[in-house]
Structure 1
Amino acid sequence: MNNTDNSHSNSKIRTFLVGILVLAIGVLIGFFIPHTQKPVTERHSESSETQKSTKKESNDDYLSQVKNLIKTKYYQPVDETKLTNGSIKGMLDSLDDPYTTYLDKQEAQSLTDTISSSIVGIGVTVMEKNKLIVVDSTVSGTPAKKAGIRSKDIIVKVNGKSVLGKRSTEVTKLIRGKKGTSVTVTVRRGSKDIDFKMTRDTIPIETVKHKMLTKNIGYLSVSTFSNPTTSEFKKAITSLRKSGAKKFVVDMRGNPGGELKQALSMSSMFVKDGKTIMQVQGRQKSDLTVYDAGPKMDGGFKVTEPTVVLIDGDSASAAEIFTAALKSSNIPVVGKKSFGKGTVQSVVELPDDAELKMTIAKWLTPDGSWIHHKGIKPDYVVNYPEYTNLIINDVKKPLKKGDVSGNVKTIQKGLLALGYQPGNQKGIFDDATENAVKDFQTKRKISVNGTIDESTVQEVLRALSELEQKQDPMQKKAIDLLQN
């Protein structure tokens, strides 16, 4: 975007595609268009601007009058900066676009820190929607993912204190803290409020992990697209090839996005030179930028081995660009439908280190499709196991033999999935349930008391997360496709 108000002609502008507003609770989401690429522009005719000038001046006078009345007549003094910020936020809220927002100094710095380095948090990405803090994704391997926080959960409390109506910066301050300290986040899921007690941890800057799945199938998990991702990905591919990999599984599950430059480079590795990776459509139909695969994107590094991509509902933005590009090149996609984020944002640096993030365009798949709110449908739909959807409410006091509740029923189902024998699964805490709880506590080396207390609940959730990773039906489907 290269049109700016003359009064801010010295402001720097960064054009990028943002998946979801990042609160620096976990890691970034979104993806940046590199400065070396042609930016998306907005075009306005001179006559159109002239026709609107009179009305604009009238509106500006109206706004100035209201602001002056508040400053001079309101019953108590008003901070002018706060008043200005509120005016800006009000205008942006009227657009009903969660991706268009005003970032004050702290929020802008938080975004910058998240992009450039690792942070201490719980590993979720969120956005402000209807004055609520909504979880959009949880990053793989982080405290939030292990605890069971999910997309669309609404954060309502932090450490027992309500955060309803608070800004993202305020919520971030409450959730972040020193590594190793605990934080309890209460989320509203449907009609239930659920407490998740987690230990804050460093969200690692390493974005690509790899291993051998079989004698000739290599596995790469990409958590985000940040500065080192392309380099890490190349090193991982090279290492796997040396280990005998002739085929690859690329895991984009839980990947909330990141820098566009990284997504383009990695996509180009799998796409034939000259083929389209993605398109960006501006306000006018003539504002179309097409990104094609080639040496300028991938540096001549290509992956031609058979490959399968894994996605889920938390795969968003840059992860969707990568997936769509590979899917258009007939590379199979396995898992669940992706998140569906298809708009482009531009960030303008404002005075006092604030920033304005505004939607200016949409990005399209190679064939021109817009996946916004639709997501990418896998070629092979594979769901997570049923036990991954278990909901355990806050256990304020330990559950014991004789108790009957929904939490008991949930724990019984969890224990059964883990291979224990809890007896009935109707929520009745009987002798069999007590014995199963004791067996579980013994094996997991926690206090053996036969009751379902907070530590037991957390350990059950942790064990189920480990079981999910071990069973992983999506990964198994990918291996099956590559072996046949």
Structure 2
Amino acid sequence: MNLIRKIKHSIVLLLTFSLFFAYVPAALGASAQQVEEVRGLLEQYHLKSPDDSELADKEIDEMVDSLDDPYTQYFDDQEWKAYSSELEQTFVGIGIVMMEEKGKIYVEDVIADSPASSVGIVAGDLLVAADGKSFVGKTMADIQKELRGEEGTVVALTVSRSGKELKFKITRKQVHVPVVSTKMLDQGIGYLALTSFTSEAGKEVKRELEKLEKNGLASLVLDLRNNGGGYVSAAQEVAGLFVKEGVLAHMRDRNGHDEPLSISGTSRPYEVVVLVNGNTASASELLSGALRDYGVGQLVGTKTYGKGVVQSLIPLKSGGVLKVTIQEYYTPKGKKVDQVGLTPDLTMSGAAEQLIGAFRLAGGTKLAVSWNKGILTLNGVRMSQPDAARKEGNLWYVNLKLGTEIAGAKLTYDAKSRTYTLTKGSQKETIKATDSRVKIKDGRTSIDVRLLAKWFKGVTFSASGETLKLGSR
């Protein structure tokens, strides 16, 4: 009998990158009945097929640890409530998305109508301290822990903005993170970012995709970067928006039985380019691999995480929930994903550079880029990229890799002569690393924007105050 149907529980693909809290499951105070129930379920379903001798006389946390599987977990009722909220992207917190840049944690985005937005926190703010506790040397998980708390409680948050420290008192409340955002980039090219496969993700993607199509969508950039996965059923729904009939993935259980996960939907008459990175995991890899195997879209970015195993959520009669690994999945063409990941068709680093690469691969040419206080906006899509530009006196410098991408050129470096070469068609421009128009700081190289505009026809720039604008056509 099909294992999925036999256990009759939701199958989820998960790799949780919590935005608002750090989560460490435990099995403190588990009853003898719960211990025995978990042991029986692990023996019956886990991909590794452990026997009773391997799990004997172990408490729940010890049994789970003995499997050496980071995705099999036991949740008590309180932990499950928190975890299920995370699956649906609903949190009690302040409402910010964070990113790490050179060991510092910045606000990448502020959720609309959240406590953080109401007090004036903005993307690009450097997180300094909470309730007087410095964030120096703290990880993102550490900061998440400081910012979480009970609904209605207050946290005193200190941020740095343009070198000036600002303090805010923020009252925590429940926040729902939008999982789909869209933009029309230009020339009929649409952009759709999906951050998590919640239970409603398929419906939300369908609704937003239809809006783009009504606005003249000719090709699509689908952004799955930093999407850690979610429900397989949601991935099936999204895949069905692009594949008329086929297999999302081949699911193999511990006995080697292959259970194809079917897709039934419709095809689209336009090209799709999928953005991925090292935090694209689980259900995101499932979808990315299928879209590529069926020739629907190419992948752009960096190699994905490599989580290719499936978990089932099993409520315990004695209380709590067991999340247990039951299968490994392979792409429709049989490519292994677990601990391997997916290698993009076009490998690129840098958030803005990747988006430019995807935009051009989708047929786009015209770029409008602005940068202000660490926030970069590219054809209407905002992102935090503190190192994208810098101002020295009255002169502006742009990150060399980003500037090269904006110009549509290719960058190479000769370490022996310490020379950068920018190539576009038959045109070649070179500059020494020691040239005064090149600035190197913290291992990042920037170039005078005037030089880029001089070298490459179609590149424009303007500056006003703390804002730099670059264009390319």
Question: What is the TM-score with the length of structure 1 in the denominator?
Answer: 0.54
Q: CA deviation at 1:42?
A: 5.9
CA distance change for structure 1 residues 27 and 18 in 2, over 3 Å: closer, same or farther?
farther
Residue 248 of structure 2 corresponds to: 277
What aligned pairs does 1:213-224 form with structure 2 within 5 A after superposition?
Answer: 213-224=185-196
Q: CA deviation at 1:183?
A: 6.9
Does structure 2 retain, via aligned residues, the 8 Å contact 1:24–1:111?
no
Residue 60 of structure 2 corresponds to: 88
Does structure 2 retain, via aligned residues, the 8 Å contact 1:271–1:277?
no
Matched, 1:119 2:66: no
* Corresponding letter in the other structure for 1:350: L
Q: CA deviation at 1:178?
A: 4.8
Matched, 1:325 2:290: yes
Q: CA deviation at 1:268?
A: 2.1
Residue 13 of structure 2 corresponds to: 18
Q: CA deviation at 1:213?
A: 0.9
What aligned pairs does 1:260-271 form with structure 2 within 5 A after superposition?
Answer: 260-271=232-243
Residue 234 of structure 1 corresponds to: 206
Among 289, 301, 313, the residue aligned to 2:259: 289
Q: CA deviation at 1:332?
A: 1.2
CA distance in 1, matches of 2:289, 2:12: 15
Q: In structure 1, the residue corresponding to 2:240 is in which secondary structure? A: helix
Residue 345 of structure 2 corresponds to: 379
What aligned pairs does 1:339-354 form with structure 2 within 5 A after superposition?
Answer: 339-351=305-317, 353-354=319-320
Which one has a larger percent helix, Structure 1 or Structure 2?
1
Does structure 1 retain, via aligned residues, the 8 Å contact 2:13–2:232?
no
* Corresponding letter in the other structure for 2:223: D
Residue 252 of structure 1 corresponds to: 224
CA distance in 2, matches of 1:158, 1:342: 40
* Corresponding letter in the other structure for 1:307: V
Q: In structure 2, the residue corresponding to 1:18 is in which secondary structure? A: strand
Does structure 1 retain, via aligned residues, the 8 Å contact 2:13–2:310?
yes
Does structure 2 retain, via aligned residues, the 8 Å contact 1:23–1:111?
no
What aligned pairs does 1:140-151 form with structure 2 within 5 A after superposition?
Answer: none
Among 346, 366, 376, the residue aligned to 2:332: 366
Does structure 2 retain, via aligned residues, the 8 Å contact 1:183–1:198?
yes
CA distance change for structure 1 residues 147 and 349 in 2, over 3 Å: closer, same or farther?
farther
Q: In structure 2, the residue corresponding to 1:361 is in which secondary structure? A: strand
Residue 148 of structure 2 corresponds to: 175
Does structure 1 retain, via aligned residues, the 8 Å contact 2:16–2:229?
no
- Deviations 1:100-150 (Å, cap 9, x if unpaired)? 12112111111222334622336679xxxxxxxxxxxx997668995699x
* Corresponding letter in the other structure for 1:16: I
Q: CA deviation at 1:307?
A: 1.5
* Corresponding letter in the other structure for 1:208: V
- Deviations 1:368-387 (Å, cap 9, x if unpaired)? 22211221111111110799
Does structure 2 retain, via aligned residues, the 8 Å contact 1:335–1:382?
yes
CA distance in 1, matches of 2:109, 2:470: 16
CA distance in 2, matches of 1:102, 1:239: 41
* Corresponding letter in the other structure for 1:18: L
Q: In structure 2, the residue corresponding to 1:338 is in which secondary structure? A: coil
Residue 363 of structure 2 corresponds to: none
Does structure 2 retain, via aligned residues, the 8 Å contact 1:313–1:339?
yes
CA distance change for structure 1 residues 314 and 302 in 2, over 3 Å: closer, same or farther?
same
* Corresponding letter in the other structure for 2:333: D
CA distance in 2, matches of 1:371, 1:309: 17
CA distance in 1, matches of 2:143, 2:97: 15
Does structure 1 retain, via aligned residues, the 8 Å contact 2:311–2:324?
yes
* Corresponding letter in the other structure for 1:290: P
Does structure 2 retain, via aligned residues, the 8 Å contact 1:314–1:338?
yes
- Deviations 1:396-417 (Å, cap 9, x if unpaired)? xxxxxxxxxxxxxxxxx95782
Residue 304 of structure 2 corresponds to: 338
CA distance in 1, matches of 2:293, 2:267: 16
CA distance change for structure 1 residues 362 and 198 in 2, over 3 Å: closer, same or farther?
farther
Which one has a larger percent strand, Structure 1 or Structure 2?
2
Q: In structure 2, the residue corresponding to 1:227 is in which secondary structure? A: coil
- Deviations 1:151-170 (Å, cap 9, x if unpaired)? xxxxxx997499xxxxx999
Does structure 2 retain, via aligned residues, the 8 Å contact 1:309–1:333?
yes
Does structure 2 retain, via aligned residues, the 8 Å contact 1:175–1:183?
no
CA distance in 2, matches of 1:145, 1:261: 35
CA distance change for structure 1 residues 363 and 17 in 2, over 3 Å: closer, same or farther?
farther
Q: CA deviation at 1:313?
A: 1.5
Residue 165 of structure 1 corresponds to: none
* Corresponding letter in the other structure for 2:148: I
CA distance in 2, matches of 1:348, 1:42: 12
Q: CA deviation at 1:89?
A: 0.5
Question: What is the TM-score with the length of structure 2 in the denominator?
Answer: 0.55
Pairs aligned (count): 326
* Corresponding letter in the other structure for 1:282: D
Q: In structure 2, the residue corresponding to 1:258 is in which secondary structure? A: strand
CA distance change for structure 1 residues 224 and 21 in 2, over 3 Å: closer, same or farther?
closer
Q: CA deviation at 1:353?
A: 3.4
Q: Unaligned regions of 5+ residues in structure 2, if any?
A: 24-42, 99-106, 136-140, 159-167, 355-384, 396-438, 443-463
Q: What is the aligned-residue RMSD (CA, Å)? A: 5.1
Does structure 2 retain, via aligned residues, the 8 Å contact 1:282–1:361?
yes
- The structure showing larger relative contact order (alpha-carbon pairs under 8 Å, at least 6 residues apart) is 1
Q: CA deviation at 1:25?
A: 2.8
CA distance change for structure 1 residues 221 and 13 in 2, over 3 Å: closer, same or farther?
same
* Corresponding letter in the other structure for 1:342: G
Deviates more, 1:322-331 or 1:264-273: 264-273
Q: Unaligned regions of 5+ residues in structure 1, if any?
A: 4-11, 29-40, 64-86, 126-137, 150-156, 163-167, 186-196, 389-412, 428-441, 445-462
Does structure 2 retain, via aligned residues, the 8 Å contact 1:334–1:380?
yes
CA distance in 2, matches of 1:313, 1:225: 17
CA distance change for structure 1 residues 379 and 42 in 2, over 3 Å: closer, same or farther?
farther
CA distance in 2, matches of 1:2, 1:110: 30
